[in-house]
Structure 1
Amino acid sequence: MLEPAAPSAGAPSPFLAPAPVPHAKPLGFARFLLTASRNPIEIWGERAFREPVLRADWLQVPTIIVNDPASIRHCLVENAANYAMQPLRQRILRPLLRDGLLTAEGELWRRTRRSIAPVFTPRNIAGLAGLMESRSRVFAERLGVRDGAVVDASAQMTLLTYDILQATLFTDDIQGEPAAFAKAMETFMGRMGRVDPLDLLDAPAFLPRIRRLMGRGAARYFRRLITETAERRREAMARDPAGVPRDLLTLLLEADGLSASEIEDNIITFIGAGHETTARALGWTLYLLSQAPDERAKVEHELDERLPGLPDPREWPDALPQTRAAFEEAMRLYPPAPSLNRTAIAADRVLDTDIPAGASLLVMPWLVHRHERLWDRPGHFMPERFLPGNRERIDRFQYLPFGLGPRVCIGQSFAMQEGVIALAALLRHLRFDFVGARPPYPVQKITVQPREGLAMRITRRQRMSGGSGRARSPNEAGEPKI
């Protein structure tokens, strides 16, 4: 268990992040079915946050929930070949992403991953830092003009990460209007990415899933947008092969063995899963910092003191440990991908628990990240866990924001760099204060999202006085009062 240093006398208590209260007793069949289809992270009982491995036979299927880091490593790394993608997961995601990298299996997955890998080399990711910074800075400037306004920070972060993804991976070739895109994305992910009771019951595919029917208009919008984008790039490649950018779109179009529909599936995968996860993590980070003024002051002080001497944003992820720690802690409390689902091909065993062939294996970052045996005060926002000196003591298989094993998120370095740069650009001159009528309630769709968004007031802030950890007053700074 990670044990951060005890807070000094008089230090404020860490903020307890909003989350569903674990059940004292298992849910009955009807309640389980309803809860799992409405908000899967609400199904968990107290044992799931205390025991290293437990078994639950849901809907006549043996289900093994694994929280122990060594057992997670065994199942998803050392014995990964024994665990296939779970049919339930595929029933939910394939209608959205079809044969994209997130849902492809076998040779198609291997071929697609090889084709995309060159985009995500460390050198290429570092080379995208300038674009990430410039798009984030311009976005922050536009928000700053609205000093005092209340915005939905969750929706705003969706717009920002879409803009960054557009610039970096598609070289601004996707020509959808941002507001229309954000609305369609909310419908696409919110309607089509939800668990349906018919999925839980393994009902035939021809039976309609009502939520997905409601999301078909958004799905058609994305397909049309991506088809037009790919066609424009093909035409540009035919006219001047040397003149097109070497971005994700070009590499997909050049890949051997990928059909036109598979290329479109992967573009939609990266637009959907690739930007949605970072957007949610940024939104939650802004909210958590707004509820922990002492932690926000540390981030603001770091940015005020260090950013003036860091003109190259490639250096920011390593040179801004407090900012990075806040982002990582937000992903611990609200993991972008809250569940990893597999099916055992052959029998296996972890600790003292047998895993029968055909059993469902669940590794839930939502549980692992809040497990009482693995974390001190697991429900509290404590960025110090991820500061140098503490970060190294966290087991590799205890913190899983990007998954693990052969199918670990190919864009994790991209997302971490993007997250730190975006936060630094936003918080350098702005402050976000939550003004919602009630605390945001997390809901699992594909990602963990705030049910009613994040109503936050934007204010411009003054630079903190050197070394004091406090903002200069308006009279000291000679600037308008916030």
Structure 2
Amino acid sequence: MRDAPLEFVTAMAAHGDVTRHDADGEPVYMLHRPDLARHVLKENGAAYTKDRTPDDDMLRPLLGNGLLTSNGAEWAAQRRMCAPAFRPAEVDRFDRVIVEAAEHLVAHWDGGRPVRVDHDLTSLTLTVIVKAMLGTDIGVAGEGFGRAVDAVNRFIGHYVPSDDPDPADTAARYAGFHRARTFLDRVTRVIIAARRAGGAGDDLLGAMLAEGHTMSDADLRDQVLTIIMAGHETTAKSLTWTLYLLDRNPEAARAVHAEIDEVLEGRSPTAADLPRLRRCRQAVQEAMRLYPPVWLISRRGTADDVLDGYDVPAGSLVCVSPWVLHRDPRYWAEPDAYRPERFDPDRAARLLSHQYLPFGGGPRICVGRHFALVEATLVLAVILRGLRMELVAGFPVEPEALVTLRPRHGLMMIPRPR
């Protein structure tokens, strides 16, 4: 599981819809069918928690007790506080922030030289989420923030056994994680302090500050860092995979370019264009099927359960892999092929519940899913309005399953004028 996680979960699914293996002396149940995922994440979700799961173990050292890691009544209260900022009407008003950041990136890419697409898109989405949700310009701290995020992901995304054969390497990675976490803490606290001094504002951080009498500085830090991390990392990776897949699939790329030309006629996109930028949105949705940002979802049972006829005792770890569900030939024709038309509205309406889980499922489905799709669609339209992104010849592209699913070696592409 540690050495080759995607291969491992794929191999487990070949044994049946419910499998069990032992890890660290405890049984782990894996579910490989949409209705079973629905049962654990939604229908019987009250009997499962994120507490003491791999998700929790990876995220809590950095994010504390924020929206991604809290449970029960505390999570419900945090969700209620954050949800209004992510309503469609609220999200659409940030179209200018998104488009301006994307246009700045395209101008930076001018010249046809190879660019590190994954890093640049991470900086872009970081800028957008901080401006939109926290009312702050992260400025020169953005590049350092991106490097710190990479360092954190590489530490918390690996399962390292207690008998690690190279303790010096472990010590070095832990030191890197500690430095990165310290940097992220400082930036987050500066953002909070600046907003306290400048007034609440009409955004998510403003809403949290308005409830300051019930939120400690530590609580605010956890929530702000959670919003920053969850709000930029998965969108950046989804856009990265989209550009890669469009380059590998010229017919799909031509369809996206044609739509952008027809809808925009050379101008900048706005939220009003989103209903007509269907192929752009579908290109992202299909990329998230093949390369789901969250490739494994874990829960721990708080009560005995029965899954497809198998007794699962309380305390068991139960996992669902979107990577597996999204590539199951029982539910997807040509599952390994990139076919954005799968998400035409009529076809998408026929998908089974929890067959497609790029944002998770059930009550804990990602609160920012609409924001992510709006941002990704507009950014893709801006980039491909005047550019054709071409993979550097011979550049190795291999998925790496850390906290999110990312290209192991990054992604080097050449922006070519259309």
TM category (shorter chain) comes to over 0.9
Indicate conservation of the 8 Å contact 1:175/1:225, yes or no: no
Identity of aligned residues (%): 34
Instruction: Using the TM superposition, give the Cα deviation of residue 327 of structure 1 relative to its aligned residue in structure 2, in angstroms.
Output: 0.4
Instruction: Name the CA shift for 1:436/1:102 in 2 (closer, same or farther; >3 Å).
Output: farther
Q: Match for residue 417 of structure 2?
A: 460
- Is 1:306 aligned with 2:268? no
Report which stretch shifted further, 87-96 or 281-290.
Answer: 87-96
- Is 1:249 aligned with 2:205? yes
Instruction: Using the TM superposition, give the Cα deviation of residue 84 of structure 1 relative to its aligned residue in structure 2, in angstroms.
Output: 1.2
Instruction: Name the CA shift for 1:435/1:312 in 2 (closer, same or farther; >3 Å).
Output: closer
Instruction: Name the CA shift for 1:361/1:173 in 2 (closer, same or farther; >3 Å).
Output: same
How far, CA to CA, are the matches of 1:39 and 1:250 in structure 2?
43
Q: 1:178 aligns with which of 117, 133, 142?
A: 142
Q: Match for residue 383 of structure 2?
A: 426
Indicate conservation of the 8 Å contact 2:53/2:299, yes or no: no
Please list every run of 5 or more consecutive structure 2 residues that lacks an aligned counterpart in the other structure.
Answer: 165-169
Residues 276-329 of structure 1: per-residue CA shift (max 9 Å, x gap): 000000000000101111111111011111223987621333211211111001
User: Which letter does structure 2 place at the counterpart of 1:101?
Assistant: L
- Is 1:225 aligned with 2:175? no
How far, CA to CA, are the matches of 2:173 and 2:129 in structure 1?
27
Q: TM-score, normalised by structure 1?
A: 0.80
Indicate conservation of the 8 Å contact 2:65/2:222, yes or no: yes
Instruction: Name the CA shift for 1:154/1:175 in 2 (closer, same or farther; >3 Å).
Output: closer
Instruction: Name the CA shift for 1:199/1:355 in 2 (closer, same or farther; >3 Å).
Output: farther
Instruction: Using the TM superposition, give the Cα deviation of residue 192 of structure 1 relative to its aligned residue in structure 2, in angstroms.
Output: 3.2
Instruction: Using the TM superposition, give the Cα deviation of residue 128 of structure 1 relative to its aligned residue in structure 2, in angstroms.
Output: 1.5
Q: TM-score, normalised by structure 2?
A: 0.92
Q: Match for residue 117 of structure 1?
A: 83
Instruction: Using the TM superposition, give the Cα deviation of residue 195 of structure 1 relative to its aligned residue in structure 2, in angstroms.
Output: 2.6
- Is 1:357 aligned with 2:314? yes
How far, CA to CA, are the matches of 2:327 and 2:163 in structure 1?
27
Residues 170-211 of structure 1: per-residue CA shift (max 9 Å, x gap): 2234344332222222112222333332499xxxxxxx8763
Instruction: Name the CA shift for 1:394/1:170 in 2 (closer, same or farther; >3 Å).
Output: same
Indicate conservation of the 8 Å contact 1:223/1:264, yes or no: yes
Q: 1:157 aligns with which of 107, 121, 128?
A: 121
Q: 2:364 aligns with which of 378, 398, 407?
A: 407
SS at match of 1:196: coil
Indicate conservation of the 8 Å contact 1:316/1:420, yes or no: no
List aligned pairs for 1:271-420, cutoff 5 A: 271-308=228-265, 313-420=270-377
List aligned pairs for 1:62-77, cutoff 5 A: 62-77=27-42
Please list every run of 5 or more consecutive structure 1 residues that lacks an aligned counterpart in the other structure.
Answer: 1-35, 201-207, 238-243, 462-482
Aligned residue pairs total 411
Instruction: Using the TM superposition, give the Cα deviation of residue 79 of structure 1 relative to its aligned residue in structure 2, in angstroms.
Output: 0.7
User: Which letter does structure 1 place at the counterpart of 2:369?
Assistant: Q
Q: Match for residue 51 of structure 1?
A: 16
SS at match of 1:428: helix
Instruction: Name the CA shift for 1:47/1:261 in 2 (closer, same or farther; >3 Å).
Output: closer
Q: 2:7 aligns with which of 42, 66, 87?
A: 42
Instruction: Name the CA shift for 1:209/1:378 in 2 (closer, same or farther; >3 Å).
Output: farther
RMSD (Å) for aligned C-alpha atoms: 2.2
List aligned pairs for 1:111-150, cutoff 5 A: 111-143=77-109, 145-146=110-111, 148-150=112-114
Instruction: Using the TM superposition, give the Cα deviation of residue 436 of structure 1 relative to its aligned residue in structure 2, in angstroms.
Output: 4.9
User: Which letter does structure 2 place at the counterpart of 1:95?
Assistant: P
How far, CA to CA, are the matches of 1:153 and 1:311 in structure 2?
21
Q: Match for residue 15 of structure 1?
A: none
List aligned pairs for 1:188-207, cutoff 5 A: 188-198=152-162
Residues 39-89 of structure 1: per-residue CA shift (max 9 Å, x gap): 532323435157332222334322221122122212211111111115142
How far, CA to CA, are the matches of 1:439 and 1:378 in structure 2?
22
User: Which letter does structure 2 place at the counterpart of 1:57?
Assistant: D
- Is 1:444 aligned with 2:401? yes
SS at match of 1:87: coil
Indicate conservation of the 8 Å contact 1:65/1:361, yes or no: yes
Instruction: Using the TM superposition, give the Cα deviation of residue 246 of structure 1 relative to its aligned residue in structure 2, in angstroms.
Output: 1.0
Instruction: Using the TM superposition, give the Cα deviation of residue 232 of structure 1 relative to its aligned residue in structure 2, in angstroms.
Output: 1.3
Report which stretch shifted further, 48-57 or 265-274.
Answer: 48-57
Indicate conservation of the 8 Å contact 2:263/2:273, yes or no: no
How far, CA to CA, are the matches of 2:173 and 2:215 in structure 1?
30
Q: Match for residue 167 of structure 2?
A: none
Report which stretch shifted further, 351-360 or 69-78.
Answer: 351-360
How far, CA to CA, are the matches of 1:351 and 1:72 in structure 2?
11
Instruction: Name the CA shift for 1:315/1:447 in 2 (closer, same or farther; >3 Å).
Output: same
How far, CA to CA, are the matches of 1:49 and 1:164 in structure 2?
41
Larger-Rg structure: 1
Higher helix share: 2
Report which stretch shifted further, 249-258 or 444-453.
Answer: 249-258
Q: Match for residue 4 of structure 1?
A: none
SS at match of 2:214: coil
Indicate conservation of the 8 Å contact 1:50/1:372, yes or no: no
